[in-house]
């Protein structure tokens, strides 16, 4: 799915089920709690990749 389509999908308040541990780890790294974790795939891809590599 192209990045702009994914952002529109999230903005329409669709549910996206993700692994809770991923979000927990990103929050521990300092991502603000009110951040849409899914959007970090587009805005902070290096940080998300770092979690997967950890």
Judged against a pLDDT cut of 90, whether residue 46 lies above it is answered with yes
State pLDDT tens for residues 4-44. Answer: 787 788 788 667 666 668 888 999 989 998 888 889 999 99
Total of domains in the chain: 1
At residue 45, the pLDDT reads 93
Residue-level pLDDT at 40 = 92
Domain extent, residue 9, equals: 3-53
Per-residue confidence (pLDDT) for residue 5, from 0 to 100: 81
Instruction: State how far the Cα of 28 lies from the Cα of 51, in Å rounded to an integer.
Output: 11
Residue 44: the pLDDT is 92
Question: Which pLDDT value is given to residue 48?
Answer: 92
């Amino acid at each position: 799915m192209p990045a702009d389509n994914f952002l529109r999908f999230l903005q329409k308040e669709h549910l996206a089920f993700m692994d809770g541990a991923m979000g927990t780890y990103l929050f521990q790294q300092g991502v603000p709690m009110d951040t849409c974790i899914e959007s970090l795939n587009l805005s902070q891809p290096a940080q998300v990749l770092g979690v997967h590599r950890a």
